[in-house]
Amino acid sequence: MVKKKNYYLLFVFSCWIFISNPLNYPALAAKSVVNNPKENSCSNKDLASLTTKLMRDLPAYFNRATQRARRLDRSVQVYSYMLVAGKPDFQPLPLRSWTDEADKSANGKNGVEQIFFTTLERQYVKGKAVQLQDFHWLFLTKTESGWRVAMMYSQTGGYPKQQPPTPPRESSDSAVAQGIKTWLRDCRAGSLRF
């Protein structure tokens, strides 16, 4: 009889702890935000305020992406460290459909938003610091769950200006794009504060 009473008290006490403090468990609190899309700050934010927060957080996300990409078996590697991401510009370039001349869809009407921004990065080559300025053209699309990267193009130049920037290259799989995708994933999960 005493053993049954002890098990019963242990069970009740365990349930009380679990139910009484759900906010002390960040995973449970974040999960409750994801289950209610109306409260998800990522899907409700306008693109300008969302991107402002993204630019503030991007250096940390980029630096973590480059650290994860390191290969320990290589003796010599050059990695960039992002110092700052610049203020975004939302003035779109006209997008023309190459398949249908009658399609005059402008930015935003076809579900794709354009964002231009710059980043300042530092590399260490043979013990010497080299700074690079990258120019990025990011395409975002909004889905039911929030914003996602459609594609990205980038150019690289010296800083301060020492040479003309490289030709634009598709950079949807670069460390910058990976940082953006990870940030947007965290935003959709509700783990970012606005």
Q: What percent of the chain has pLDDT over 70?
A: 65
Q: From the CB of residue 89, how many other CB atoms can be counted at a distance below 10 Å?
A: 13
Q: Which two tokens stand for residue 174?
A: 């670069």
Mind listing the pLDDT tens digit for each residue in 127-143?
888 888 999 999 999 88
pTM of the model: 0.70
pLDDT value for 34: 44
User: If you average pLDDT over every residue of the chain, what do you get?
Assistant: 76
pLDDT at 65 over 60: yes
Q: Which two tokens stand for residue 24?
A: 């002390």
Shortest CA distance to 136 belongs to which of 169, 161, 163, 103? 169
Q: Which two tokens stand for residue 170?
A: 């598709």
Q: In what order do the strands lie in the sheet with 80-85?
A: 80-85, 112-125, 128-142, 147-158, 169-170
Q: Which two tokens stand for residue 33?
A: 């935000």
What residue has token string 């998800």? 40
3-state SS track over 27-63: HHHHHHHHHCHHHCHHHHCCHHHHHHHHHHHHHHHHH
Distance CA(157)–CA(14), nearest Å, equals: 59
Q: Which of 68-72, 113-117, 118-122 has the lowest mean pLDDT?
A: 68-72
